[in-house]
Amino acid sequence: MNILLCCSAGMSTSLLVTKMEAAAKEHGLECKIWAVSADTVKAQIDQADVLLLGPQVRYLLPQMKSLANEKNIPVETINPVHYGTLNGLEVLNTAINLIKNH
Amino acid sequence: MENLEETIFQIILHGGNGKSCSMEAIAAAKKGDFVQAKEKLEQSATALNEAHRIQTSLIQSEVKNKKIEMSLLMVHAQDHLMNAITVKDLAKEFVDLYEKLHA
């Protein structure tokens, strides 16, 4: 399962990646999770099964949706509460559910 | 201040939310939906106020000699907040401009 996270510089989200990786490891899940800047998404979306946006780039959702539709993968904004509290497990669950229900 | 990392993330979150709302305000104005645009500008102001409130609490504890550890993440949060405030001010101008163009 490949989870791509996107925020403006890919910086704050990388801390969330660390928390998500810890949660995945704890539950014995094989995941590749990584964070990139909004500009890099296009170049890396091919390797992703799901795309999650940081709340600070929520305004990019329409254009990311069309990009994700082309690649036929789900895309969603990260729940602000989960993001603000660095809740890696909940964000991981969101990603898994998005892939399942796609 | 419970957990500094989380506090910093709250600044990034609310600052970032504020910026998103500002950009959505411009997008709404571009489509001619000025009611939505103004609502988004208000939401942006609310989010930035919240980010600013957290920021102020950090500054206040520093002034009270409670040393706050400077990290790259903290600098990044400040960067987010300043940027979001600038975008909000400019978004208001954009919305006004689109409204004039639309009239």
pLDDT 10s digits, A39-86: 899 999 999 999 999 998 999 999 999 999 999 999 999 999 999 899
**pLDDT for position B22:** 97
Length of chain B: 103
pLDDT of B2: 59
What percentage of chain B exceeds 70 in pLDDT? Answer: 98
Averaged pLDDT, A10-34: 92
Q: Is A55 on the interface with B (CB under 8 A)?
A: yes
Between A84 and A12, whose confidence is greater? Answer: A84
From A97's Cα to the closest Cα of chain B, the distance in A is 23
- CA B16 to centroid of chain Cα atoms: 6
Question: If you ran DSSP here, which 8-state letter would residue A78 be given?
Answer: P
- Cα Rg of chain B, angstroms: 16
In this predicted structure, the answer to whether residue B1 has a pLDDT above a threshold of 80 is: no
Q: Say yes or no to pLDDT of A34 above 70.
A: yes
Q: Which residues of B touch A (CB under 8 A)?
A: 5-6, 9-10, 12-17, 19-21, 23-24, 27, 73, 76-77, 80, 84
Average pLDDT over chain B, rounded to an integer:
93
- Asked if residue B15 lies in contact with residue B81, where contact means CB atoms within 8 angstroms, the answer is yes
User: pLDDT value at position A76?
Assistant: 96
Instruction: Label residue B48 by pLDDT band (50, 70, 90).
Output: very high
The pLDDT of residue B65 is: 82
The answer to whether A57 and B20 have CB atoms below 8 angstroms apart is yes
Residue B14 has pLDDT above 70, yes or no: yes
**Interchain contact, A86 vs B5, CB within 8 Å:** yes
- Tell me if B16 sits within 8 A of A54, measured CB to CB: yes
Of the candidates A12, A58, A85, the beta carbon closest to that of B12 is on: A12
- Nearest-angstrom CA–CA distance, B98 and B103: 9
- B13–A55 C-beta distance less than 8 A: yes
The percentage of residues in chain A with a pLDDT greater than 70, rounded to a whole number, is 100
Answer whether B17 sits within 8 Å of A85, measured CB to CB.
no
The answer to whether the CB atoms of A59 and B23 lie below 8 A apart is yes
Give the closest residue to B70 by CA, choosing from B84, B83, B59, B81: B59
CB pairs under 8 A between A and B: 54
State ipTM. Answer: 0.74
B22's tokens: 């500002």
A24, A31 Cβ separation under 8 angstroms: yes
By C-alpha distance, the chain B residue nearest A56 is: B16
Residues 6+ apart with CB under 8 A from A3: A20, A31, A32, A33, A34, A48, A49, A50, A52, A92, A95
**Catalytic residue (one of B14, B52, B76, B80):** B76
Question: Which positions ≥6 away from A90 have C-beta within 8 Å?
Answer: A79, A82
